[in-house]
Amino acid sequence: MTATERAIELTVAAARAASERKALEVIALDVSEQLVLTDVFLIVSGRNERQVSAIVDAVEEALHKLGAKPLRREGKAEARWVLIDFGDVVVHVQREEDREFYALERLWKDCPAIELPEDARGGDGDTSEYDVLDSFGFTQGLYRAAETAQAADELREAAQAAQIADAADVNDAEGEAGAGTQA
């Protein structure tokens, strides 16, 4: 027995929704031979809890449009590993670290993979589009942290030099005033 057409339709829709939210390593496994409760496991990764939540919301919205409602959802509050059971399809959305640790693909390695369309496979972890951001998350060129820090250092040095000069002037003035009162 293989996954039903409906299960594959839902899987592709869920995978596309996850991919639109920049999910990583989207894979679908036909578990219908191993499990009687579901046909497909869709496994996707997110970089952090916020992305995991965004992927979950997108998947639920996409499948709702196809008339599928989650029978059960677990882990949404923590957003580290969220499981959404749609009956024919169970979607696992995990943080990268949790996916690596639990290795669901390895546990279900005997199950055949379902070929997903190119636009439903997610990313490969390439975040080069974000490489134009500096260490503060600003677009490079708009905020130049190094130049600003250097300018601040120069101002600080100038202020210290001015304070030293002012202190010297005060000492000179006090010395002159003291000399005038002694005469």
Contacts of 53 (CB under 8 A, 6+ apart): 76, 79, 82
Res. 9 pLDDT band, cuts 50 70 90: very high
User: In terms of domains, do 91 and 67 share one?
Assistant: yes
Is 63 within 8 Å of 18 (Cβ atoms)?
no
Domain ends where: 100, 128, 156? 128
Bigger pLDDT: 31 vs 149: 31
Structural domain span for residue 30: 5-128
Residues 62, 150, single domain; the answer is no
Summarize pLDDT for 125-170 with one digit per residue, the tens.
454 444 454 444 445 554 444 455 666 667 678 777 777 766 666 5
Predicted local confidence at residue 150, as pLDDT: 65
| Residues 104 and 14 grouped into a single domain | yes
What are the residues facing 46 on neighbouring strands? 95
Tally of CA atoms within 13 A in the half-sphere of 93 that contains its CB:
34
Query: At 95, which CATH number?
Result: 3.30.460.10
pLDDT digits (tens, 9 = 90+) for 43-90: 999 999 999 999 999 999 999 999 999 999 999 989 889 999 999 999
**Cβ atoms within 10 Å, residue 8:** 20
User: Nearest to residue 7, comparing CAs of 114, 96, 82?
Assistant: 114
Radius of gyration of the chain (CA): 30
| Number of structural domains found in the chain | 2
Same domain for 110 and 69 = yes
